[in-house]
Structure 1
């Protein structure tokens, strides 16, 4: 008898399939939230607007070294920290939740972003067409076959590789090691970043990418144990933010992260009504 079946028979905690279903429903809810990824309507690089005026974005924006300077009048209807802005304010990059960003214009949130020394303003609008059109995330039901034991092999030193991003620009992607696991007896590896909390992050493609699932996906395994053991649960393969809005700058898979096998598991595609 499987562990899931034993849990159901004994009246124990949720089964792995039930936990996955809750995770999936939570993902759909988060994506559809007012300031979820569907609400992003633009990523505006300030270097493209040397005069400081971004079409359809109120205020005047200019970079000044390690800060962005925003100037607004009463007619712009911009607030900073909840207070109307008339004049000038200096801003750093927003690092918290979107709905907690310092700058707002009505229901919109104007989020300051910095990547490789370049500044941008992101416009999150709960009334975006993408959010109105969204229905759900197409995902394959839980299958225990895709919960695989793996081994994390850290690099001696962190590495950075240049990879194309969804906006067509090449940027650096930091990597801290690789995870090794087997599918049908054949070993595969994925190069991963190590997050501050010790968890891992992989950008990968497989034989279904662009043919039954989005062109690439993310995987976020929990931190490995002291012996490097890690669970590779491909049921929780994630669609990247750029699957929900074209204005994200998701990195493409680094060299070596395109699996030669099909992974018909996890999130597959966005579904609109």
Structure 2
């Protein structure tokens, strides 16, 4: 189990140190229907740190989205709604469009960030078998409708039909999932380490799909959301039901910043 955890930690470190890391994001710009100018001009809808005053435009018409570079051929754009978005390269920058409940935004990434400020690495609490929890996968009937906030202040309705129930210090504790897939269950939680040893807005946790009415929660694999590394992410926040009244000294600690 420890070896698997070490492999997972190394893979996560490599992901965050890569040119495509969250740490390379330098901008987030919400699009409007119609023509959105992209360039270094301060009046552009998508402002780049350098390059031509107008590198091109992103045109959003109904369900169609295209990139029109200045003096070049137009290119149809895909958002991240169904998978990987289309990448537009402008010098050392990459531009791509994200879809958040029908609102579209351009993220700008500097692919050269790691050469100038290498990734400082992650810190972890010591591995603790007591935080590998075998929980009951309990049905909620009727399902609960939660309004989950994100860091932008928006609310997303989430229907919850199950919860993970376990005991801590003799008391029953429940965690509500943000999403339940065929192979994976996703949680967002906050505990008494949040804002101190761990990231203030809470942490993420993924668990394998439940079997025979049980689900294993390995808090040693709790990890920081993208918002711990960049202000240009739109992370869900833990609902009040997932604010745990005790410390979980397991998993990823607070990120201290670029080296």
What is the rounded CA distance, in whole Å, between the counterparts of 1:153 and 1:55 in structure 2?
48
- CA apart distance, 1:183: 1.9
What is the rounded CA distance, in whole Å, between the counterparts of 1:131 and 1:208 in structure 2?
32
So what's the TM-score if we normalise by structure 2?
0.84
RMSD: 2.6
Matches within 5 A, 1:232-271: 232-271=217-256
What SS does structure 2 have at the residue aligned with 1:21? helix
What is the rounded CA distance, in whole Å, between the counterparts of 2:175 and 2:221 in structure 1?
15
What SS does structure 2 have at the residue aligned with 1:23? helix
Matches within 5 A, 1:200-239: 200-215=185-200, 216-225=202-211, 227-239=212-224
Aligned mate of 1:59, from 33, 56, 60: 56
Instruction: Answer whether contact 1:180 1:187 (CA < 8 A) is retained.
Output: yes
What SS does structure 2 have at the residue aligned with 1:140? coil
What is the rounded CA distance, in whole Å, between the counterparts of 1:55 and 1:68 in structure 2?
18
Matches within 5 A, 1:107-146: 107-128=92-113, 132-146=117-131
Instruction: Answer whether contact 2:147 2:155 (CA < 8 A) is retained.
Output: yes
- CA apart distance, 1:155: 4.2
What SS does structure 2 have at the residue aligned with 1:268? coil
What SS does structure 2 have at the residue aligned with 1:30? helix
- CA apart distance, 1:168: 3.2
Between stretches 104-113 and 234-243, larger displacement belongs to: 104-113
Is 1:68 paired with 2:65?
A: yes
What is the rounded CA distance, in whole Å, between the counterparts of 2:116 and 2:203 in structure 1?
21
Q: Which residue of 2 aligns with 1:93?
A: 79
So what's the TM-score if we normalise by structure 1?
0.80
CA-to-partner distance for each residue in 1:45-91, whole Å, 9 max, x for gaps? 113996533111832123211122321124xxxxxxxxxxx133332
What is the rounded CA distance, in whole Å, between the counterparts of 1:159 and 1:212 in structure 2?
32
Count of aligned pairs: 244
